[in-house]
Amino acid sequence: MHNISDYMYGNRHFQKSYVKENNQKLEELAQKGQTPHALFIGCVDSRVLPNLITDTGPGDMLIVRNVGNFVPPCDESTQDKSVASALEFAVKVLGVKEIIVCGHTQCGAIYTIYSDLDVESFPHLASWLKQGDRLRSRIKVAEGTFKSKELLLRRAEQVSVQLQLENLLTYPFVRDAVENGEVSLHGWIYDIQSGKISSYDQKQERFVSVDEIVPGSVK
């Protein structure tokens, strides 16, 4: 188990290794600012590390993380504006070309949506996870067809990502950018055990393994 000293020693190692080897790139980022290609919206889960699972580095992606990788729909009455403000910054200021919503297997948020949460003990979490009501409604008809709760949860993780993609299009500036071909939307599921990513194919209406999209063996 790590402690705070481990993290500090880790930073010293980071300075001596990565920073030393990539000094020029980091200096350019500091002097010229950032021009990330993508906005990555992911879960706070400690097992999901956006730059690690995509083999990217500083300056490559703008990253937003929250419980359940949710994108609240565009609504002036919504109190939490963190995702909305990040979307504005990413699309209207930085001009990102891709927006990725990345869910993952064994998601605690999805599990909690399908469990009895003590609202009095977790008022903020319960309020945030109310966004899962639409998810439950979307797959309620099919709930009885799953052979186990695990299979239900895996499907719920996928449907949740699809719902977030729909929510992205409720933001006029995102919808306009997509319709004008300036931004592409992507829905991913990251498998924690295998490390593989599956991407939602709207035409096929299913999640397709990265191996089908980018053929070839991993070196």
The pLDDT of residue 58: 97
CA distances from 85 to 5, 90, 91, 144, 174 (A): 34, 9, 10, 39, 12
Residue 161 belongs to some domain of the structure: yes
Q: How confident is residue 1, by pLDDT bands cut at 50, 70 and 90?
A: confident
Residue 202 belongs to some domain of the structure: yes
Give the list of residues 6+ apart from residue 108 with CB closer than 8 angstroms, or none.
45, 67
State yes or no: pLDDT of 210 exceeds 90. no
CA distances from 39 to 64, 79, 98, 174 (A): 8, 22, 6, 12
Instruction: Provide the number of structural domains found in the chain.
Output: 2
DSSP state of 17: I
Residue 215 belongs to some domain of the structure: no
Render pLDDT for 7-25 as a digit per residue (tens, 0 to 9). 999 999 999 999 999 999 9
The pLDDT of residue 68: 98
Contact 22, 60 (CB under 8 A): no
Q: What is the CATH number of the domain that holds 192?
A: 3.40.1050.10
- pTM greater than 0.75: yes
65 & 111 share domain? yes
- Rounded CA gap, 141 and 127, in Å? 24
- Its domain, for residue 9, covers 1-30
